[in-house]
Amino acid sequence: MTPQKIFFAVLALVFSTASFALEKKSICTWDPVGKNGPVMTFYSDLKPKAIAWGLDIEFIAYTDEKVAANDFKAGVCDGVLVTAILGRQFVPFAGTLDAIGGITTDEGLGKILATLANPKAGKLMVNGPYEAVASFPVGTLFAFVNDKSIDTVAEFSGKKISVLNEDPQTHKLSDMAGASPVGTSLATFSGQFNNGNIDILFMPALAYNTFELYHGLGEKGGILDYRLFYGMLQTITKKDLWPEDFGNKMRKYVVSRLAYINKMVKDAENEIPAKYWIKTTDKTKAELKKFSRDIRLALKEEGKMDPKALKLLWKIRCAGDPSASECATPE
C-alpha cells in the first residue's frame, strides 16, 4: 500500500470512529426488585435504541427511590426514574398525570401519552433545568383492603390508610374520608400492610405478587375492582446534559411500547385470584368518581397539582365520555 493510500485509510478510520462515538449517560433507576426487576427489564430494550441515537445509557438499579432521587440531585446520575410522587418536585406537570381519577381507561392512557409524544407538547414536560422525558405507566391503582366490608367511601372512615412518601394526594383522601393516615415508604408499606398495621393500601396489580400482598389480604381482605387512576413512573433528566431531542424520542418510545406495557399490566391483574376482587356497585362508583374530583380540585386550590395537567386530563376524559356530569364544568 502506498503512503497516500495509507494516509486516506487512516483518515477514514478516524472519521468512522468519531461518527460512532457514543455519549455516555446514566439514569438512577428505581426498581423495587433490583437489577432483575420489571422496570430494569423494560428499559433493557432501550439500550439498542439509545445507541442508534448516539447514546450509551447505563441504568443503575436502586431499590430505594429516595436514594435514587437524592443521588440524581447530587449529580451521581444524569437522569432518574422514580414514582410520580417524587417526580413531582422536579416537573409538577408530569407529576400530576397520576392525579386520582385523572386517567382510568386504556383509551385515555393511550391518548395522553400520544399527546405528550407530540413535539409541540414537549414544553409542558420541562420545568427549569429538568425535563420529564418519559412517563411509564404501571397500571391502574386499586384499593387493597384487609376486610371486604371496606367497600365504599363511607367505610374508609376511621380506617388506617397508607400514605407513601408524604404524598399530598393520599393525605387529602385520608383527611376527606375521615381516615387515619399512616406514613409509609416503598420500602416499608408491604410489611406494614401484611402485618395488619394498615387497613387500606392503593397499589397497581403488579404489586400483588411483587410485594406478596396476599399475606395482608388473607382470608378476609380483597381489592375493589374500581380503577382509581393510572400510576406513573417518571424519567427525569437534567435537560442540558442530554441531546435536545432526547425527550421527544423517549416519549415516542414509550408510546411504541404501550402494547407491551398493557399486556404486562393485564397479566398481573389476571394473576390475582378471583376471590379477592370486590365488585363495586354503580352507586359506589359514582361516589368514588365525585370523591376523586373533590380531591383533585382541593389539591389544585392548594397549589399541589398542576392546573394545566388537570385541564388536559379533563379534556381527554370528556372526549371519551362527553355526557359525564363533570364535563359541564372544566377543571
Split at pLDDT 50, 70, 90, the class of 64 is very high
Angstrom distance (rounded) from CA 52 to CA 194 = 45
pLDDT at 11 over 50: no
Q: Which residue has the higher pLDDT, 324 or 144?
A: 144
Instruction: Please report the pLDDT score of residue 119 as a whole number.
Output: 94
Instruction: Please report the pLDDT score of residue 83 as a whole number.
Output: 94
Angstrom distance (rounded) from CA 108 to CA 95 = 17
Look up cell 405528550; give the residue: 116
Domains of the chain from N-terminus onward = 14-137+231-271 (3.40.190.170), 141-229+277-328 (3.40.190.10)
Angstrom distance (rounded) from CA 285 to CA 109 = 20
pLDDT at 17 over 60: no
Instruction: Please report the pLDDT score of residue 20 as a whole number.
Output: 54
Split at pLDDT 50, 70, 90, the class of 165 is confident
Tens digit of pLDDT for each residue in 183-210?
998 889 999 999 999 999 999 999 999 9
Tens digit of pLDDT for each residue in 86-139?
999 999 999 999 999 999 999 999 999 999 999 999 999 999 999 999 999 999
263-266 long-range contacts (CB < 8 A, ≥24 apart) are 264/38, 264/42, 264/206, 265/137, 265/138, 265/139, 265/140, 265/204, 265/205, 265/206
Using CB atoms within 10 A of its CB, is residue 52 exposed (0-12), middle (13-18) or buried (19+)? exposed
